[in-house]
Amino acid sequence: MWGLTSIFPPAPSWNVEQVPDQTGRIAIVTGGNSGIGLETVRELLRKNAKVYLACRSEERAHKAMDELQRNQLPGKIEFLRLDLASLHSIKEFSEQFLAKEQRLDMLFNSAGVMNPYVGPETKDGYELHLGTNSLGHHYLTQLLVPALQVSAKASPDRPPRVCFTSSIAHRATSPKGFDPTDPTGLHTYCYMPAHNRAYGTSKFCNILSANWFQRNLGAQNIVFTSCHPGILKTGLVREWNQGFNTIMMPIIEAAIFYPQRMGCITQLYLNTAPEAATKGGSYFAPWARQVDPLPLARDVGVQDTFAKWVDEQVTKHMGQPVDL
Ligand SMILES: NC(=O)c1ccc[n+]([C@@H]2O[C@H](COP(=O)([O-])OP(=O)(O)OC[C@H]3O[C@@H](n4cnc5c(N)ncnc54)[C@H](OP(=O)(O)O)[C@@H]3O)[C@@H](O)[C@H]2O)c1
């Protein structure tokens, strides 16, 4: 049942018109130049937020900003370069952001890659899905905690929020969920294609991150959640239009893909709806419905194992872990 309603969800009972006014509030949207991220930015600007477009390509960021500015939305937008496939770029991004702003009210960890193959690696040598989607976003969130803490103190009745965009595909993680001796799970189980396992594990780790942060920082009045945004016609499958997929993708898209603009509903609900401020540690499915993730995502031992693995990787490449 969980699977079916995540693929064919009931009609939304909450919509983006309900995003409260965001005047004076600051957001970061990773991957805000495309797909779900772009739609999220659009709605935040419509409600007067100041939004940092955290993207790896300045050219694609400006193309998106030009499109958004044509709509004459009242919010403010600024580009800051972020390549989640590089720990140094993440550090540089956070330093630049913290030099510009003291507070952070909403962090949308929305960027992601999903390739129909495994092989490419991040700049630091991690499998691309795990390195970009999971390690990158966990490290970024750690570095931005000081700004979240400022907001938590400054606006106790409107706590800052962080949403990790996961996926229904998190269910394709390995039987242990996350295993530091085989972080992608590619070597210890093989009952589905490697790219599905790598992507699934990376999206499972997004839920581990949200739950780990909630457990460790929730008491400081910061709210961490995760979600499956729906199955949406975005740029995510751009690498899939090759070979046999050129025939299959249009059929699959017509059967189960929803319009891109609907992809922002669930994460905007989690990061802006007043009633969602009590939902720390929850996992949501489209459209803004609380559901249960894979039970392993609730396992504090697995969450701690992943967080410890991140700290070890950060120490290896950056000299020391982030001191929270
Ligand atoms: N679409 C779906 O059906 C679906 C379903 C479940 C979950 N999701 C999740 O939704 C999120 C958004 O995906 P989408 O569907 O909106 O796809 P999308 O249109 O391809 O957007 C992905 C965004 O991530 C950015 N990105 C990729 N690698 C990056 C890196 N190294 N550093 C910084 N940014 C990077 C992309 O930047 P470039 O433009 O530079 O490539 C793009 O802005 C992803 O986390 C995905 O896993 C999507």
**Residue 198 token pair:** 């790598």
At 2, the pLDDT band (50, 70, 90 cuts) reads low
Domain that holds residue 153: 15-318
- Averaged over 247-264, what is the pLDDT? 84
**Residue 239 burial by CB count (10 A; 0-12/13-18/19+): exposed, middle or buried?**
middle
> Per the domain annotation, does 23 fall within a domain?
yes
What pLDDT shows up at residue 142?
98
Arithmetic mean of pLDDT, 170-180: 93
Of 36, 84, 130, 137, best ligand 1 pocket probe by most atoms within 8 Å of the beta carbon: 36
**pLDDT score, position 240:** 66
Probe target for ligand 1 pocket from 236, 265, 267, 291, with the most ligand atoms within 8 Å of CB: 236
Distance 321 CA to ligand 1 centre (A): 26
Residue positions annotated with a catalytic role: 166, 199, 203
Q: Nearest C-alpha to atom 47 of ligand 1 is from which residue?
A: 112
Ligand 1 centroid distance, CA of 155 (Å): 30
Q: Which of 234, 249, 264 to mutate to test the pocket of ligand 1 (most atoms within 8 A of CB)?
A: 234
Give the model confidence (pLDDT) of 281-295 as tens digits.
Answer: 999 999 999 999 999
User: Residue 275's domain is classified under what CATH number?
Assistant: 3.40.50.720
Q: Are 299 and 317 in contact (CB under 8 A)?
A: no
If you take atom 7 of ligand 1, which residue's CA is the nearest one?
167
Kindly tell me if the per-residue pLDDT of 138 is higher than 60.
yes
User: What is the reported pLDDT for 157?
Assistant: 96
Q: How many domains does the chain have?
A: 1
Report the nearest-CA residue for atom 8 of ligand 1. 167
pLDDT tens digits, one per residue of 30-77: 999 999 999 999 999 999 999 999 999 999 999 999 999 999 999 999
pTM of the model: 0.96
Whether the per-residue pLDDT at 1 is higher than 70: the answer is: no
- The verdict on residue 3 lying in a domain is no
Starting at the edge strand found earlier in the chain, the sheet holding 76-81 runs 76-81, 50-55, 26-30, 106-109, 161-165, 223-227, 283-285, 289-291
4 lies in some domain: no
The pLDDT value recorded for residue 44 is 98
* In a domain? residue 133: yes
- 183-224: per-residue pLDDT in tens? 998 888 777 889 999 999 999 999 999 999 999 999 999 999
When mean pLDDT is compared across 136-150, 199-213, 226-240, the lowest value belongs to 226-240
User: Which residue minimizes the CA distance to atom 44 of ligand 1?
Assistant: 112
104-131 pLDDT per residue, tens? 999 999 999 998 888 999 999 999 999 9
CA 157 to ligand 1 center in whole angstroms: 32
273 Cα to the center of ligand 1, angstroms: 23
**Is residue 9 included in any domain, yes or no?**
no
Does 5 map to a domain?
A: no
Cis (ω within 30 of 0) for the bond into 287?
yes
Q: Is the pLDDT of residue 260 over 70?
A: yes
Pocket residues: Cβ below 6 A from ligand 1:
30-31, 33-37, 55-57, 60, 82-85, 110-114, 132, 165, 167, 228-229, 231-232, 234-236
Tens of pLDDT, residue by residue over 290-313, are 999 999 999 999 999 999 999 999
Report the separation in Å between the CA atom of 162 and the middle of ligand 1, taken as the mean of its atom positions.
17
Determine, yes or no, domain membership for 143: yes
Asked whether residue 8 carries a pLDDT value surpassing 90, the answer given is no
On the question of pLDDT at 257 being above 80, the answer is yes
Which residues, 6+ apart, have CB-to-CB distance to 90 below 8 Å? 82, 83, 84, 136, 139, 140, 143
CA distances (Å), 319 to each of 88, 89, 209, in order? 11, 15, 22
What is residue 216's predicted lDDT score, i.e. its pLDDT? 98
On average, the pLDDT of the chain sits at 94
Q: Which residue has the higher pLDDT, 116 or 20?
A: 20
Whether residue 242 lies inside any domain: the answer is yes
